[in-house]
Amino acid sequence: MKLSPFAIALIAALLAVAAWSLVSPLPLQTWFLEVAPAILGGAAIAVAHFRFGFAFTRLVCVLLAAHAVILMVGGKYTYAANPLFEWIKEALGLARNHYDRLGHFAQGFIPALVVREILLRASPLKPGKWLFFIVVSICLAVSAFYELVEWWVAVGTGGDAQTAIDFLGSQGDVWDAQWDMCMCLVGAIAAQLLLGRLHDKAITRRLGERR
């Protein structure tokens, strides 16, 4: 299956952002840890596209690109020191930089539609309560696994090492892992409530293009 001009333009834009994020970034090890989900996700999408002929809707592709950008910006600055959210922190007198919260909201919001599309197109499930519940459950499971990965990285790098501190981005909050999973939960629910019908139409249109 060939790439469409839309897909090529999206990939080119992401490569440009990736190149920018590598200009004077954090230590390369930390950058890779932050951006690894985008790299692995991109590889999985490529395999699905070229090996199995599964192409996501444009809606999901745009959201996936946005998620990759969030990860790459996080890789450049860390989630605890994003300049824009640092300014917001100072302007509003907040206790922490909330870019991390945005990242974990996106971790639920965007994968929810990815999972939803896969289930609708590759399983007997139909739009409804069971699909909604299963999508949220899968997103929460992925979020919990990511928290385990953060823990393993922290242990593997010595806990107090700068790489562990940058990757965890907890900013001293003992409830950071719980907040991360909560934001993912909110994101997964919000995505389906706000974009569920639009996503259904996009899937119908995508399947119609393949006939």
pLDDT band at 194 (very low <50, low <70, confident <90, very high): very high
Average pLDDT of the chain is: 87
Query: Residue 34: its pLDDT value, please?
Result: 85
Global pTM? Answer: 0.86
- CA nearest neighbour of 4 among 78, 61, 43: 61
Question: How many C-beta atoms surround the C-beta of residue 45 within 10 A?
Answer: 18
What share of the chain in percent tops pLDDT 90? 51
Query: Residue 138: its pLDDT value, please?
Result: 97
Say which range, 39-48, 78-87, 122-131, 158-167, has the weakest mean pLDDT: 158-167
Residue type for position 85:
F
Instruction: Tell me the helices (H) and strands (E) count for the chain, helix number first.
Output: 8, 0
Q: What is the mean pLDDT of residues 13-26?
A: 88
pLDDT in tens, 133-172: 999 999 999 999 988 888 887 777 665 555 555 556 556 6
What share of the chain in percent tops pLDDT 70? 89
38: exposed, middle or buried (Cβ count in 10 Å: 0-12, 13-18, 19+): buried
What contacts 24+ positions apart, CB below 8 Å, involve 162-168?
162/27, 162/30, 163/27, 163/29, 163/30, 163/33, 166/26, 166/30, 166/78, 166/80, 167/30, 167/33, 167/34, 167/78
Place of tokens 């020191």: 81
pLDDT band at 30 (very low <50, low <70, confident <90, very high): confident
Cβ–Cβ under 8 Å, residues 88 and 174: no
Tell me the CA distances in angstroms from 81 to 89, 96, 185, one per residue in order.
10, 9, 24
Query: Residue 159: its pLDDT value, please?
Result: 52
Query: Residue 160: its pLDDT value, please?
Result: 53
Q: What are phi and psi of 4, to 5 degrees?
A: -80, 160
pLDDT in tens, 71-109: 999 888 888 888 898 889 889 888 888 898 999 999 999
DSSP assignment of 148-169 equals: HHHHHHHHHTTSSSHHHHHHH-
Torsion of CA 47, 49, 54, 57, to 10 degrees: 120
Query: Residue 167: its pLDDT value, please?
Result: 58
Q: Which two tokens stand for residue 154?
A: 């922290």
pLDDT in tens, 52-62: 778 899 999 99
Tell me the CA distances in angstroms from 66 to 120, 137, 200, one per residue in order.
22, 22, 20
Query: Residue 172: its pLDDT value, please?
Result: 62
Q: What are phi and psi of 136, to 5 degrees?
A: -60, -40
